[in-house]
Chain A
Amino acid sequence: MQQIVKVSGLSKQFGSFTAVDQLSFSVEEGDVYGFLGQNGAGKSTTIRMLLSLITPTEGNMELFGLPLQSHRKEILQQIGAVIEKPDVYKYLSAYENLKLFARLSGIKPTRTVLMNQLELVGLADRAHDIVKTFSQGMKQRLGIGIALVHNPQLIVLDEPTNGLDPQGIADIRNLILFLSREQKKTVIVSSHLLNEIEQIATRILIIDKGKKLVEGTASTLINAEQAILEMEVSNKESANRILASSEWSNQLLPEREGKLLVKIKRSDIPAFNRMLASNGVDIYSLASRNNLEDYFLQVTAGKQYVGTFTN
């Protein structure tokens, strides 16, 4: 697989504030690369640096094997992007916006090509209406249409589901999957909707305060064999004492919201439950979690877990 994006030691400082700190990652051809982080984690700054909107303070970025700084124009010809809100010229129609940005991308598409593009994002019947009359979802779809009009190899979507209703979110998800599977595009997508990323991403990067916490395939990060067991018990001290002397002693995690957490094999859960009950610990609730959202919250709340999950 060709490496489409290679970032090493990337940093950005705004005055004394470090927005991105020595970040390194790579994206391979065909990846749907999920970019995760809390608000202010540095996702948008990193994406803007990849698109040369922001100049890095330090570090190197190579896209399609070329250094971004010296090959900006050639690289941007192969990228389509939607950054945060899909803002376009509100006084122009969808068709005019698409045509204008296609020309700025270096192509002169025919009317048929433009209409096909609008068809792809479901706006063909509103092609000649001015954008001012569009809903947020329609603007988002137009933004994606603009990002795709010059048939780029890499698509960068920064929070593409912002402000969309559930149907709009599902449409974007399906479109990303279509682009990845049918058109073999490489997609970098950042979102705070972790379950959305979980459904589409082949690889995931989690950052916090500008630093990389973890990078890996979705299946590595969300190990179906492993679970985080969240328990509410009658006596935490007693439960902790019992666990400390059990075979799961080194898998006890820091408490969250007053609940005990243990990393455990799914197949061990019944035995684990029986052990606590037989030692006089009443269990009020027991929840097995292994989705990305839980993983993300634990990784960003207690960075000491990272090593455990990335091995």
Chain B
Amino acid sequence: MWEHLQIELYKVFKRPRTYLSFAAITALIGVIQLGLWVDGKEYADFVMADFASSFSVDGKILNGYFICYVILQLLLVHVPLLIALIAADMISGEANMGTLRLLMTKPQSRTSIVLAKFLASSIYTVLLLIWIAIMGLFLSMLIFGTDDLFLMKSSYVVIVKESDVFWRYAGAFCFAALAMITVAALGFLLSFFAENSIGPIVATMSVIIVSTILSTMNIPLFNLIKPYLFTTHMITWKEFFDFKVNDANEAIIGSIQNPQKIVQSASILFIHIVLFVGTAIALFRKKDILS
């Protein structure tokens, strides 16, 4: 299994396509950082427009932590596509290249082949998230400096102390990795149904888009299924930035307002991963290799 995982990782990182995602992330984050570096003050004024009359903010709103939050919100919509490019290609790409039949004549169990491939796509996903963290968080901290994190929620404002921010990002990135591995598992499952990469990639994105629409629309019928859609739980990383307050209405450092929600969402995402990968294993064990 370990041997096979090494081989799968070797194949993934030998393909030029793999680095497209890293290049795309670098370009996207670079563009956002450049835009905010050049015209950041106007952007901050625009964001603060509704609060300008009631708040007087000392310090630097446009700091590295704030930039990273903006980047995360924007990128977590686009990252699934980059993950689908690899995960949805894991089986269908091999079938398309014709290497699947050669691979399957080797003395490896089918379950081990599926697990090695899924783990390889999960590791790729985690590395992509780490790259986002390096570019979005660390580089932004370097360029824009650090200060308290000022977040505008729908009906309130959250100010997270500078000393209380970093671990929240660590938690948010870990949660985002779990959410993106769920996307990878979906793409991976769909890759069993086609012998070219385009179909599963488009299908993965379609499922995510439709599920996201269902998750965001406030219609009673959809509200019934919302709790079971993985897209509903993919944005729970934001919960890491809501904290508890004491009786004096001061933030309790190191607290999370609703940790149960994070645990619940993580569990639902994990169940989805198990279901997707379990189904993939069950299908693959019975699959006739005709490619």
Interface residues of A (CB under 8 A from B): 48, 51-55, 72-77, 79, 81, 83-85, 87-92, 96, 100-101, 103-106, 143, 146
B247 within 8 A of A: no
- Besides A48-B290, A77-B107, A105-B106, 17 other CB < 8 A contacts? A51-B105, A53-B288, A53-B289, A54-B289, A55-B288, A73-B107, A73-B108, A83-B105, A84-B101, A88-B102, A91-B14, A92-B14, A96-B14, A101-B102, A103-B7, A104-B108, A106-B107
B288/A76 in contact, CB under 8 A: no
Give the CA-CA distance A84 to B290 in the complex, in Å: 11
B4 within 8 A of A: yes
* 0/1 interface trace, chain B 74-103, chain A, CB 8 Å (1 if under): 000000000000000000000001110111
Give the CA-CA distance A105 to B104 in the complex, in Å: 11
A100-B7 CB under 8 A given contacts A54-B288, A89-B97, A89-B99: yes
Chain B residues with CB under 8 A of A101: 102, 106
Q: Which 9 A-B pairs have the closest CB atoms?
A: A87-B98, A53-B289, A76-B107, A104-B106, A77-B107, A54-B288, A73-B107, A81-B105, A51-B105
A104/B4 in contact, CB under 8 A: yes
Chain B residues with CB under 8 A of A83: 101-102, 105
B246 within 8 A of A: no
Chain A residues with CB under 8 A of B109: 72-73
Number of A-B contacts (CB under 8 A): 73
Chain A, residue nearest B16 (CB): A91
In the complex, chain B residues 1-26 whose Cβ is within 8 Å of any chain A Cβ: 3-4, 7, 10-11, 14-16
Chain A residues with CB under 8 A of B153: none
* 0/1 interface trace, chain B 171-199, chain A, CB 8 Å (1 if under): 00000000000000000000000000000
A76-B106 CB under 8 A given contacts A100-B7, A104-B7: yes
Task: Name the prevailing secondary structure of the B interface residues.
Answer: helix
Most-contacted residue by chain B among A53, A83, A101 (CB, 10 A)? A53
A85/B98 in contact, CB under 8 A: yes
B6 to chain A, nearest CB (A): 8
A76-B105 CB under 8 A given contacts A55-B286, A104-B7: yes
Chain A, residue nearest B290 (CB): A54
Give the CA-CA distance A48 to B290 in the complex, in Å: 8
Most-contacted residue by chain A among B98, B103, B105 (CB, 10 A)? B105
Chain A residues with CB under 8 A of B14: 89, 91-92, 96
Chain A, residue nearest B10 (CB): A100
Chain A residues with CB under 8 A of B3: 103
Give the CA-CA distance A106 to B7 in the complex, in Å: 12
B7/A53 in contact, CB under 8 A: no
CB-defined A-B contacts under 8 Å, sample of 19: A48-B101, A48-B288, A51-B104, A53-B101, A53-B104, A53-B289, A55-B288, A73-B109, A79-B105, A81-B105, A83-B101, A87-B98, A88-B99, A88-B102, A89-B14, A91-B14, A91-B15, A92-B11, A100-B11
* 0/1 interface trace, chain B 97-135, chain A, CB 8 Å (1 if under): 111011111111100000000000000000000000000
Chain A, residue nearest B286 (CB): A55
Give the CA-CA distance A96 to B14 in the complex, in Å: 10
Give the CA-CA distance A75 to B104 in the complex, in Å: 13
* 0/1 interface trace, chain B 5-49, chain A, CB 8 Å (1 if under): 001001100111000000000000000000000000000000000
Chain A, residue nearest B98 (CB): A87
Give the CA-CA distance A83 to B290 in the complex, in Å: 11
Chain A, residue nearest B97 (CB): A87
Chain B residues with CB under 8 A of A91: 14-16
Give the CA-CA distance A105 to B106 in the complex, in Å: 5
A16 to chain B, nearest CB (A): 16
Give the CA-CA distance A88 to B14 in the complex, in Å: 14
B230 to chain A, nearest CB (A): 32
Give the CA-CA distance A91 to B11 in the complex, in Å: 9
Give the CA-CA distance A52 to B7 in the complex, in Å: 22
Most-contacted residue by chain A among B98, B102, B103, B290 (CB, 10 A)? B102
Give the CA-CA distance A83 to B104 in the complex, in Å: 11
A89/B106 in contact, CB under 8 A: no
Chain A residues with CB under 8 A of B97: 87, 89-90
Chain B residues with CB under 8 A of A143: 102
Give the CA-CA distance A55 to B15 in the complex, in Å: 32
Chain A residues with CB under 8 A of B7: 100, 103-104
Chain A, residue nearest B109 (CB): A73
Give the CA-CA distance A48 to B107 in the complex, in Å: 14
B107/A74 in contact, CB under 8 A: yes
B279 to chain A, nearest CB (A): 18
Chain A, residue nearest B11 (CB): A89
Chain A residues with CB under 8 A of B15: 91
B117 to chain A, nearest CB (A): 13
Give the CA-CA distance A74 to B101 in the complex, in Å: 18
Give the CA-CA distance A110 to B203 in the complex, in Å: 43
Chain A, residue nearest B6 (CB): A103
Give the CA-CA distance A90 to B93 in the complex, in Å: 12
Most-contacted residue by chain B among A79, A81, A87, A88 (CB, 10 A)? A87
Chain B, residue nearest A96 (CB): B14
Give the CA-CA distance A84 to B291 in the complex, in Å: 10
Chain B residues with CB under 8 A of A89: 11, 14, 97, 99
B91 to chain A, nearest CB (A): 14
